[in-house]
Structure 1
Amino acid sequence: MRFLIGLSIVLLGLTACSPNNVKEDKSLEQFFTDNKVTGVFGLFDNGQGNFTISDKKRFRDSAYLPASTFKIVNSLIGIETGRVKDDSTVIPWDGKVRSIENWNQDLSMYRAFRYSAVPWFQELARRIGKDTMQRWLDTLGYASRYGRATINKIDTFWLDNSIKITPDEQLGLVKKLYFDQLPFQRRTHEIVRRMMLFEDNANYKLSYKTGWGKNERAENTAWIIGWIEENKHPYFFVLQVSSKDPDAKMDVIRMNILKGILKQMGFMEGKK
């Protein structure tokens, strides 16, 4: 664990990867090539303590806007500070009709998280407030690889490229979330983990949060971060995908890549 000192407090670093236990598997790059995108995939085998990464340099040294993966942190802070009671809390629809139909209704936190409803979590961020949000980002050391993540506008800072996070930091975040190692109550961890569980069957459990936004050059950048469990054993993953094609269907592409890589690595059959 890496600790950063600043603002007279000890910050909890979210870095996941150490150089002694990393295997670079270049064969995984074919999944990006086949989908006409660029990107990086990393997976941490918690039992063996080993990383498999498609591109070491991109995994540790390239940073991107968090987009809706920030809903993990936004949710944790919102619950911990009491701005929302739990994932049943409803924030009413503001009446503005948006292109994503599921957003145009009153939503509980659980449904807003599952629909990745940006307006709902913008309102949550406003309820948390800039000063409180900044204190929590500092405490977590969130997106701090290249310096302190400073909030500009409270309801867009995770969308407008004013903060950037590395794939390595993203994997460290979900790993600590799984093991109740973030500076929140256990109940808070449990609620957010429950919202992240999307697939649960006899062979595996797949928990994740997606994200999709545009960089400064208006190019698509997308994420899936989370973990897969087989036989009660967790493996933590991060997938980052970029495309210059404005019409690229990033939601389909990122899931195809994730499922393809996991299947190639022997997951989803309950044999791990």
Structure 2
Amino acid sequence: MNFFFSGNSINRKFSNSLFVIALFPFLSTIFSACRSNNVKVDNELKQHFNKYGAVGCFGMFDNSRGKYTVYNIERFRERYSPASTFKIANALIAMQSGKVRDDSVIIQWDGVQRANEAWNRDMSLYQAFRVSAVPAFQQIAKLIGRDTMQFWLDSLKYGNMKIGPAVDSFWLDQSLQISADEQLGLVKKLYFKQLPFRASVQESVKKMMIQENNSAYQLAFKTGWGTTPSGKPLAWVVGWMEENRHTYPFVLNFEVDASKESEIPEIRKQLLKDILIDLGFYKGRM
């Protein structure tokens, strides 16, 4: 079995069998349906993480060519709290189970004033997703209930599938954990409506995720902001890029020092853009 990786050193030096053996468990997870030469390990992307003092990983699937690009394989396989990226699954489960009829259903504000003013009002499921309203999705999780939630976590094989002691915070308190590898698989299936939910439900969540949509490209994602098991600030971006009718699901995961926590929203935005530009996007040639 021959592996063909790119990157300054990997494509020249690591074709030996020990490297293949070390990577095989990873490849069998995310790339089980792919040939080994369809995986590109791009360690040049490290420069973008270094620019922001971040440690992380990135993965993307080029659907038209059946190729994967991955940076930092070791971290890519490690599980972390999904934080607000779990709202993707939470919204899917809510609508599929009928606890929330559709994305226009109004979720009542509990009257508690919070620092994020966008959360302090009644809002639809669509609006709650767009502003990542934690209290609204905590209410939704309670409506879904532990048994139904567990059924769907198991059905999706969502990370470690653990709810923990509280059904309204398990995606925030380190109970539930998922890897970037698994996140990429989930968003890829969502895009192509291959998850075990009604097509209309998956389409609704896809629309919630669209951030930019123009004649040149579509960029869609859900962000997350939590902590690592060691307590460091953690960030996620999970979504896809469309360009020239080609689709590229991706996942970005990184952590920073506590001193940079307040900068996460801007770092998250700029780091993703830097990576996408490096990979050739925004030029209309992908």
Q: TM-score, normalised by structure 1?
A: 0.90
Measure the CA separation in 2 of the matches of 1:204 and 1:33. Answer: 27
Which residue of structure 1 aligns with residue 193 of structure 2?
A: 180
Range 148-157 or range 201-210, more displaced: 148-157
User: One-letter code of the match for 2:139?
Assistant: E
Q: For residues 134-181 of structure 1, what are the alpha-carbon distances to aligned partners after superposition, in whole Å with 9 as ceiling and x for unaligned?
A: 01101111113xxx4344310000000012100000000000001111
Of residues 162, 167, 184 in structure 1, which corresponds to 2:180? 167
Deviation at 1:246, TM superposition (A): 4.0
Measure the CA separation in 2 of the matches of 1:157 and 1:78. Answer: 16
Which residue of structure 2 aligns with residue 10 of structure 1?
A: none
Of residues 252, 256, 269 in structure 1, which corresponds to 2:266? 252
Q: For residues 168-227 of structure 1, what are the alpha-carbon distances to aligned partners after superposition, in whole Å with 9 as ceiling and x for unaligned?
A: 000000000011111001011110001011100111000100000123332101100000
User: One-letter code of the match for 1:83?
Assistant: K
Measure the CA separation in 2 of the matches of 1:268 and 1:121. Answer: 33
Of residues 52, 67, 73 in structure 2, which corresponds to 1:56? 73
Q: Secondary structure at the match of 1:136?
A: helix
Measure the CA separation in 2 of the matches of 1:22 and 1:138. Answer: 28
User: One-letter code of the match for 2:63?
Assistant: N
Measure the CA separation in 1 of the matches of 2:56 and 2:260. Answer: 17
Of residues 209, 212, 216 in structure 1, which corresponds to 2:229? 216
Of structures 1 and 2, the one scoring higher in RCO (CA 8 A, sep 6+) is: 1
Unaligned runs of 5+ in 2: 1-28
Measure the CA separation in 2 of the matches of 1:79 and 1:269. Answer: 37
Q: TM-score, normalised by structure 2?
A: 0.86
User: One-letter code of the match for 2:255?
Assistant: S
Deviation at 1:247, TM superposition (A): 3.8
Q: Secondary structure at the match of 1:193?
A: helix
Which residue of structure 2 aligns with residue 266 of structure 1?
A: 280
Which residue of structure 1 aligns with residue 124 of structure 2?
A: 108
Of residues 49, 64, 69 in structure 2, which corresponds to 1:47? 64
Q: What is the RMSD computed on CA atoms of the aligned residues?
A: 1.3
User: One-letter code of the match for 1:23?
Assistant: K
Does 2:112 correspond to 1:96? yes
Measure the CA separation in 2 of the matches of 1:142 and 1:77. Answer: 12
Which residue of structure 1 aligns with residue 255 of structure 2?
A: 242
Deviation at 1:56, TM superposition (A): 1.4
Q: For residues 203-257 of structure 1, what are the alpha-carbon distances to aligned partners after superposition, in whole Å with 9 as ceiling and x for unaligned?
A: 1000100000123332101100000001121101000010122443111111111
Aligned residues, how many? 254
Between structures 1 and 2, the one with greater helix share: 2
Deviation at 1:114, TM superposition (A): 0.6
Which residue of structure 2 aligns with residue 131 of structure 1?
A: 147
Runs of 4+ off more than 6 Å? none
Measure the CA separation in 2 of the matches of 1:27 and 1:247. Answer: 23
